[in-house]
Structure 1
């Protein structure tokens, strides 16, 4: 297997790259700019190709020259910049996905794994929100509110279409709220679950006025990468669309509890209430991950305690390599 990872130096892509290396593969990382910050320890075990997913000829050239057999499509235009630029968001996140699928069709790629997001479900309320948090199944009605999430849902529909009509084998993964190195810098205010770890590790205070009572499904990026790897190698997955999360509701205070065990006197203050991301609608919930467990063999390896401990170790390793 020779896998191409679009966005392979990004927050999710870097951990996916690491997982493929761990499993004995040498992935090709495709990105607009070279940024070794999250892949510095992998430099001699991956190949890097610079390019844009909106450039179909360049994408096809990379696939052909590297004899690519599988694609993980993790490249995306994210954050507040995406929200403020809907036309560019659609160009990158939808048209770019069309290019990936077209290239996969033309070169008879064996599997395309598309990374989607929890935002495709839109507001979660009633039994799926506070205080019950009934786990959200994949067939939950979709009602995305942000342009990024709308584009992700369009990408999902494209994958299903190409799978059913164009002979392109696709698998879609919807990630819960992710945390891990890199999200603070690249995802802005949406990276609260990374800020709460990175600020105390750096000796800085972490303050948030509200949200301490909100439960959410937090998945460590190494578990996201595990889901990607399993989806890439799965033999004829039945459902094609899967929630990838912890399947457990946790709060920011759970992060605080673990950090107080692992760090000397971290300066953390978390206010009460819900909605720690400050969204204009209820966006937190817990995933039903039974489909991924039963069909992909996905079982998260990191609870909050183990995830935060590994996160801290990773940050220290990155600092040491940069010194």
Structure 2
């Protein structure tokens, strides 16, 4: 493994960011790691095992340049953004997500850093056909969050062409796993259903629970994110499991691993816009970087439940 001396992680106290920080700490024990986070959607408890420096910072403001000061990152993992898809304030979403990204790219240009940033599968929009989604397919963002990520992808391509920097987007599908509890109602559907069933409540699903999603365990998402820095050039990769699985299957697996037998409580979907199906085509990252997910839904939910139930520790930090 090639040694890395300095790593900047924005949004490093959040769900994926904290898992990433702890894994990088394990893999690069000699590296200096700096985390910037405004703690608007984060929890310090996620970083109790982190040994580096953590600074409060909104990267969409000029304070980011002062907070970085003389830190010269060789690698930048940019995960800071508003991730609440229900936010309708378009100016706020664009300022925080897009302006923040542009600030980070300026820092990268000054230091000739490799940048890996969080994109999102939401850029694909409400796909009608049930087929794996390839990175190059037409984009159709349905809300301002998805639009902000779509514009970030465009900016990354243009900035790379101007500067020669390598800027790699990781297009996350439905990530779940330890470290998401602080997100409350915005945590994964798997965690929401676990909480209901843990209290012996019937799990609530939109009729009839056959909606399918590509659920990717956070440890796979982190592995792919770190590997993305090895991309041969500026590009974007899907980060998923490569499988579309139904909510009914999640309930069945949670019943199995919790030792319960709870029937779903089906109700009408109240939303005009609702994705019925997502599935990542993972062929590009497999071909270019050799990445293959280690966790299917069965293995991921089993490990997650064991961590939540206190039966095993989180492999890199004891997160719940």
CA distance in 2, matches of 1:102, 1:8: 19
TM-score w.r.t. structure 1 length? 0.85
Q: Within 5 A, what are the aligned runs for 1:228-267?
A: 228-232=225-229, 234=230, 236-238=231-233, 240-265=235-260, 267=262
What's the counterpart of residue 43 of structure 2?
35
Q: Show structure 1 runs of 5+ residues with no match.
A: 127-132
Q: Deviations over 1:89-113 (max 9, x none)?
A: 111001111101111112221x110
What is the rounded CA distance, in whole Å, between the counterparts of 2:138 and 2:222 in structure 1? 26
* CA 1:176–1:9: 2 relative to 1, 3 Å: same
Change in CA separation of 1:241 and 1:279 when aligned onto 2, cut-off 3 Å:
farther
Alignment of 1:232-311 (within 5 A): 232=229, 234=230, 236-238=231-233, 240-265=235-260, 267-269=262-264, 271=266, 278=271, 280-282=273-275, 284-311=277-304
1:180-259 equivalences under 5 Å are 180-183=177-180, 185-186=182-183, 188=185, 191-201=188-198, 204-232=201-229, 234=230, 236-238=231-233, 240-259=235-254
Instruction: Check if 1:10 corresponds to 2:10.
Output: no
Aligned residues: 307
Question: What are the within-5 Å matches in structure 2 for residues 15-164 of structure 1?
Answer: 15-25=19-29, 27-33=33-39, 35-40=43-48, 42-43=49-50, 45-56=51-62, 58-80=63-85, 82=87, 84-109=88-113, 111-126=114-129, 133-164=130-161
Query: How far apart are 1:201 and its partner, in Å?
Result: 3.6
d(CA) in 1 for partners of 2:161, 2:253: 45
Q: Who is 1:171 aligned against?
A: 168
- Aligned alpha-carbon RMSD (Å): 2.7
Query: CA 1:184–1:137 in structure 2 vs 1: closer, same or farther (change >3 Å)?
Result: same
SS of the residue 1:286 aligns to = coil
Deviations 1:54-81 (A, max 9, x none): 123x323444443321111101112155
1:170-199 deviation line (CA, Å, top 9, x unaligned)? 001111112123546426357323212233
Q: Where does the alignment leave 5 or more consecutive residues of structure 2 unmatched?
A: none
TM-score, normalised via structure 2 length: 0.86
CA drift of 1:288 comes to 0.6
Residues 272 and 78 of structure 1, relative CA distance in 2, 3 Å threshold: same
Contact 1:19 1:229 in 2 (8 A): no
Matches of 1:277 and 1:316 in 2, distance apart?
32
Indicate the SS of the match to 2:238: strand
TM-superposition CA deviations, 1:143-178 (whole Å, max 9, x none): 101100000011111111111112322001111112
Q: Which has the higher helix share?
A: 1
Greater mean alpha carbon deviation, residues 307-316 or residues 176-185: 176-185
In 2: Cα distance, 1:279 partner to 1:184 partner: 28
Distance 1:176 1:187 in 2: 19
